Structure 1
Amino acid sequence: MDFDSAYYPYSSRRYALYARNGMVATSQPFAAQAGLDMLRRGGNAIDAAIATAACLTVVEPTTNGIGGDAFALVWTKGELQGMNGSGPAPRSISIDALQKAGHTTMPVYGAVPVTVPGAPAAWAALSERFGRLPFPDVLQPAIDYAERGFPITPSLGKTWSSAYRNYLKSVTGDAFAEWFRVFAPDGRAPEIGEMWKARDHAATLRLIAETKAEAFYRGELAEKIDACMKQAGGYLTKEDLAAYKPEWVRPLSVNYRGYDVWELPPNGQGIVALMALNLLKGFEFTTRDHPDTYHKQIEAIKLAFADGMKYVTDPRNMKMPVEALLSEAYAADRRTLIGRTALLPEPGSPPRGGTVYLAAADGEGNMVSFIQSNYMGFGSGIVVPGTGIALQNRGHNFSMDPSHDNRLEPGKRPYHTIIPGFLTKDGQPIGPFGVMGAFMQPQGHVQVVMNTIDFGLNPQSALDAPRWQWTSGRTVELEHSTPEHIADALSRMEHQVQLSPASRFGRGQIIWRSPGGVLAGGTEPRTDGYVSVW
């Protein structure tokens, strides 16, 4: 793998950063520095990842929070381990109950789509199994930022303002009053450069730190969440919270040109990226900026999504084994559908057999790929009074069709969009990568992996390169920096091309490790991305 090649569509011309003792890459400088501080204090990459994740709930509440879910891939002691920190639907919810309440689809906002938040439990479990520093110490930077405040960064300010305007027109009623009290106390979103404090959030984080998240699931915070849900007409109860534990899982992989690309298994959509790469490895690519490269990538993603949206759900409820979806035979069959023009994708029949992202690494060889989210910005719009906890709306991804694999059922986890990625070669770690942004995520993973392996781009260049995003049918969005000849050629191939701003194409982070232990990192140029190094 050549890390020296470069691609710079952005005027900033940022280069990959290198370090030996440790590195943290994420979308907020404050959070990245919090993680690096843990490394300097003798912690490992897992401590750094947890500190960064907790800090992100404070310094980037527009995309994640304490009331959201989390997933992680952890390389330690020569092994890659996975954690599914997503929560299930409440035990009292059902399609019948929602239909009787007048719902024909899962709502986007409000108490109904709230599922059990998994993030606090994920932090505690990661710390318990792999961490070196005391859990309260790891969460202290987040508490400090919440209590003392921090200045609003440019991308955060823009996203917050957009979310505020969206809630003004999308939500009404007393259930949402706490959101406006907490996140728009002056009748507006905080402005770029303005100091922001979140003292309720600080108190909540302190309780989570002192009790190793027990207060959230079986204590004072659980009681407050339960009361909030009852008041707002939701289904989540303290009994649902008390029953929750994150799950350790075995990651999935496909081999792509000699590299093993790793994702977590369903209910996440990482398998979509793996299915697409399985199709793409049957073609040869020599040039990134060629219409045929774009065309084949887009067509592969379409086919992978068609299967993912049909079959992916809580693994306990999946009718199609993941081994069948990732089989070489099925990939070969689906690959034949990729022709010279854009297709309308349909799911196949295999043989039966937004989010924040961060990457962290230390000088000992530990590496973490971590992602957490409330979904669709701030989430449900429901904030638990007096806690600062903005609850997620992951239940929106459930289907109300009783025949659908991903149908709403009590205690079931929904199709989940957030996915961490990891790359290895010959059993040795290359490192963590991720691109957040709802259904952009597997598409971003495919593009970053190919930028790295097929086109030899270094971590920063792999993230800088223009992106595309398939949305539906034959419609594909291209970033404005995409060469004009690409857009023209794709249109002739019957793609319905739309040019879109950079904010539509997710936000990624990468850390690669050389055989000699040197770390090379890249961060997202489309946001306030930052790499802290030591």
Structure 2
Amino acid sequence: MTTDYLHYPYASQRMTTVANKGMVATSQPLAAQAGLDLLKNGGNAIDAAIATAAVLTVVEPTSNGIGGDAFALVWTKGELHGLNGSGPAPQSISIDSVNERGYNEIPKYGWIPVTVPGVPASWAALSKRFGKLSLKEALAPAIHYAEEGFPVSPTLSKFWKDAYVKFEEELRDEEFKYWFETFAPDGRAPEVGEVWKSKGHAETLRKIAETDAAAFYQGEIADQIDAFSKRYNGYLTKEDLSAFKPEWVDPISVQYRGYDVWEIPPNGQGLIALSALNILNGFSFAHKDSVDTYHKQIEAMKLAFVDGQEYITDEHEMSVAVRDLLSPTYGESRRQLIGDEALVPSPGQPPKGGTVYLATADDEGNMVSFIQSNYMGFGSGLVVPGTGIALQNRGHNFSMDPNHDNALKGGKRTYHTIIPGFLSKDGDAVGPFGVMGGFMQPQGHLQVITNLIDFHLNPQSALDAPRWQWVDGKRVWVESTFPPYLAEALSRKGHEIEVQLEKGAFGRGQIIWRDQQSGTFFGGTESRTDGTIAAY
């Protein structure tokens, strides 16, 4: 590791964490500590990831839950494995049936956007293939916190209150009452430091643990979900749950400045981050804080994003091949569109052929990049009575245009925002990274990767650096800490710069970087939330 890599150019609430036995990085201290405890008690990085993820469903319900989806990249024994744990739309749903209910687009809340939850099956699949401990052992800390309670942290309290205010105004139908009974039993969101618990959540986790998730998809929990859906004319059935299996996939990558950057293939939007890096490969950057650097990064991201919005869906339903979107030739054709002025991007034509993130590492060489989410905070606004299960609303991303690649169809997986990232070099692991936050995620991936590789920032500084987010057209949000002189210079290039005061708009990330010579772990965690790193 070079000296300049340890340089700290940005103010931070914390320093990079250094350890050599094990490390867990995530957005909530109790979850990180739970993962570390499993490492110390004989588990590996996979067990730690499952434990951390399960605790996060309890201690950060504003961002994820048992009723959501998950993706993972797992490095073990010198190989990288990908897991797509996103569930499809119910078999019975269709564009025509949604139109018949009076909708021209997929609503955010209620039963229409609910897709099959993939989280429990993903935990079980990871545990069975790579874990050293049982799923029962891995879920024990989460069961404890759900049953005994935990004190609500500051950032969590803010998002919980925001969700309560929004739901109180918008969710008036009877089917939503179970959300309020579960997450606002006293007629309000919990305050900072107040102890919150969910007995139903604990019992659901216990059944998942004891049956390796079978209870969720074929047993008692599946019956409860099916009955709730039927009561309110939902599409999701027990048959949809029973048919679901997470999919082991081959990760996709591009080489960037000698490093291999890895993502999960579509239906995830990791392809966008790789496409943008593929475009940037043809440029060199002398300085990080220069208008030329930011201008080219933003333009590359815009071009990659509109391609992603046009083509990403279930991979076998895409009208273009991933390899063609990531080809050097196509990257060059998109790069040629970048000039001195901001452009309004449009999709190219290649040849046709609310989220939590965590990273774990152990001294056996295992590393995990894991992400799970309900989407839009608490998801659909539906909670299965008595279970603590908040159901996701991933179906909101489907298109109602039958000619669009991502058109709604029963049994199909939609364009998915949550993406884990991984970095390797010369065939050896460097480590997991991720930035959660809806459509900010590939933009966050691009920014932290260029911070790490182009500008040699350490993991903590790479995360702390001011961020930008392309929104649409020429509109770009920047953080309040973004240098004003650069914002003004970008405006002169035609970018419509808006200062966004909400920190949540710019994602929340974690990085574990393994030094390839010493094997030492260097960890960075998000200063925009309650993030922490547990290590030894």
Same fold (TM over 0.5): yes
Provide the residue aligned with 2:454 in structure 1. Answer: 454
Listed as ranges, the gaps of 5+ residues in structure 2 are none
CA–CA distance in structure 2, aligned partners of residues 473 and 352 of structure 1: 26
What is the deviation of 1:492? 0.6
What SS does structure 2 have at the residue aligned with 1:498? strand
Provide the residue aligned with 1:70 in structure 2. Answer: 70
Query: Which AA in structure 2 matches 1:519?
Result: F
Provide the residue aligned with 1:517 in structure 2. Answer: 519
Contact conserved, 1:7 with 1:464, CA < 8 A, in 2?
no
What is the deviation of 1:352? 2.4
Provide the residue aligned with 1:339 in structure 2. Answer: 339
Query: Which AA in structure 2 matches 1:362?
Result: D
Structural mapping, 1:408-427, within 5 Å:
408-427=408-427
Provide the residue aligned with 1:322 in structure 2. Answer: 322
Structural mapping, 1:241-390, within 5 Å:
241-390=241-390
Query: Which AA in structure 1 matches 2:526?
Result: E
Structural mapping, 1:40-439, within 5 Å:
40-439=40-439
Query: Which AA in structure 1 matches 2:525?
Result: T
CA–CA distance in structure 2, aligned partners of residues 203 and 23 of structure 1: 29
Provide the residue aligned with 1:526 in structure 2. Answer: 528
Provide the residue aligned with 2:508 in structure 1. Answer: 507
What is the deviation of 1:281? 1.3
What SS does structure 2 have at the residue aligned with 1:204? helix
RMSD value, Cα: 0.7
Contact conserved, 1:395 with 1:414, CA < 8 A, in 2?
yes
What is the deviation of 1:521? 0.3
What SS does structure 2 have at the residue aligned with 1:267? coil
Query: Which AA in structure 1 matches 2:506?
Result: F
Query: Which AA in structure 2 matches 1:171?
Result: L
What SS does structure 2 have at the residue aligned with 1:344? coil
Contact conserved, 1:9 with 1:481, CA < 8 A, in 2?
no
Deviations 1:28-84 (A, max 9, x none): 000000000000001000000000000000000000000000000000000000000
> Which shows bigger deviation, 284-293 or 63-72?
284-293
Query: Which AA in structure 1 matches 2:268?
Result: G
Contact conserved, 1:66 with 1:119, CA < 8 A, in 2?
yes
CA–CA distance in structure 2, aligned partners of residues 107 and 231 of structure 1: 19
Contact conserved, 2:150 with 2:196, CA < 8 A, in 1?
yes
CA–CA distance in structure 2, aligned partners of residues 233 and 183 of structure 1: 23
Residue identity over aligned pairs, in percent, reads: 65
Provide the residue aligned with 1:9 in structure 2. Answer: 11
What SS does structure 2 have at the residue aligned with 1:81? strand
CA–CA distance in structure 2, aligned partners of residues 341 and 276 of structure 1: 18
What is the deviation of 1:353? 3.8
Deviations 1:359-387 (A, max 9, x none): 00001110000000000000000000010
CA–CA distance in structure 2, aligned partners of residues 221 and 303 of structure 1: 43
CA–CA distance in structure 2, aligned partners of residues 135 and 4 of structure 1: 38
Deviations 1:290-326 (A, max 9, x none): 1111111111010001100000000121110001000
CA–CA distance in structure 2, aligned partners of residues 288 and 157 of structure 1: 35
Query: Which AA in structure 2 matches 1:509?
Result: Q
Deviations 1:364-415 (A, max 9, x none): 1100000000000000000000100000000000000011000000100000
**Count of aligned pairs between the two proteins:** 532
CA–CA distance in structure 1, aligned partners of residues 232 and 519 of structure 2: 52
Query: Which AA in structure 2 matches 1:224?
Result: Q
CA–CA distance in structure 1, aligned partners of residues 151 and 113 of structure 2: 32
**TM-score by structure 2 length?**
0.99
Contact conserved, 2:149 with 2:196, CA < 8 A, in 1?
yes
Listed as ranges, the gaps of 5+ residues in structure 1 are none
CA–CA distance in structure 2, aligned partners of residues 504 and 347 of structure 1: 25
CA–CA distance in structure 1, aligned partners of residues 381 and 24 of structure 2: 30
Contact conserved, 1:117 with 1:392, CA < 8 A, in 2?
yes
Provide the residue aligned with 1:30 in structure 2. Answer: 30
Runs of 4+ aligned structure 1 residues displaced above 3 Å come to: none
What is the deviation of 1:9? 3.4
Contact conserved, 2:359 with 2:432, CA < 8 A, in 1?
yes
What is the deviation of 1:283? 0.7
What is the deviation of 1:233? 2.1
Deviations 1:97-130 (A, max 9, x none): 1111111100100011000000000000000000
> Which shows bigger deviation, 289-298 or 202-211?
289-298
CA–CA distance in structure 2, aligned partners of residues 194 and 264 of structure 1: 38
Provide the residue aligned with 2:480 in structure 1. Answer: 480
CA–CA distance in structure 2, aligned partners of residues 262 and 280 of structure 1: 16
CA–CA distance in structure 2, aligned partners of residues 420 and 250 of structure 1: 13
CA–CA distance in structure 1, aligned partners of residues 123 and 9 of structure 2: 36
CA–CA distance in structure 2, aligned partners of residues 410 and 116 of structure 1: 11
What SS does structure 2 have at the residue aligned with 1:99? helix
CA–CA distance in structure 2, aligned partners of residues 233 and 192 of structure 1: 37
> Which shows bigger deviation, 495-504 or 474-483?
495-504
CA–CA distance in structure 1, aligned partners of residues 286 and 49 of structure 2: 36
What is the deviation of 1:354? 1.1
Query: Which AA in structure 2 matches 1:204?
Result: T
Query: Which AA in structure 1 matches 2:507?
Result: G
What SS does structure 2 have at the residue aligned with 1:84? strand
Provide the residue aligned with 2:18 in structure 1. Answer: 18
Query: Which AA in structure 2 matches 1:35?
Result: G
Contact conserved, 2:319 with 2:353, CA < 8 A, in 1?
no
Query: Which AA in structure 2 matches 1:532?
Result: A
Query: Which AA in structure 1 matches 2:258?
Result: G
**TM-score by structure 1 length?**
0.99
What is the deviation of 1:239? 0.2
CA–CA distance in structure 1, aligned partners of residues 170 and 527 of structure 2: 30
CA–CA distance in structure 2, aligned partners of residues 97 and 483 of structure 1: 50
CA–CA distance in structure 2, aligned partners of residues 283 and 479 of structure 1: 25
Contact conserved, 1:373 with 1:418, CA < 8 A, in 2?
yes
What is the deviation of 1:219? 0.2
What is the deviation of 1:5? 2.0
What SS does structure 2 have at the residue aligned with 1:215? helix
What is the deviation of 1:517? 1.0
What SS does structure 1 have at the residue aligned with 2:371? strand
Contact conserved, 1:369 with 1:434, CA < 8 A, in 2?
yes
What SS does structure 1 have at the residue aligned with 2:6? coil
Query: Which AA in structure 1 matches 2:505?
Result: R
CA–CA distance in structure 2, aligned partners of residues 455 and 44 of structure 1: 32
CA–CA distance in structure 2, aligned partners of residues 385 and 117 of structure 1: 16
Query: Which AA in structure 2 matches 1:8?
Result: Y
Contact conserved, 1:7 with 1:462, CA < 8 A, in 2?
no
What SS does structure 1 have at the residue aligned with 2:178? helix
Contact conserved, 2:463 with 2:526, CA < 8 A, in 1?
yes
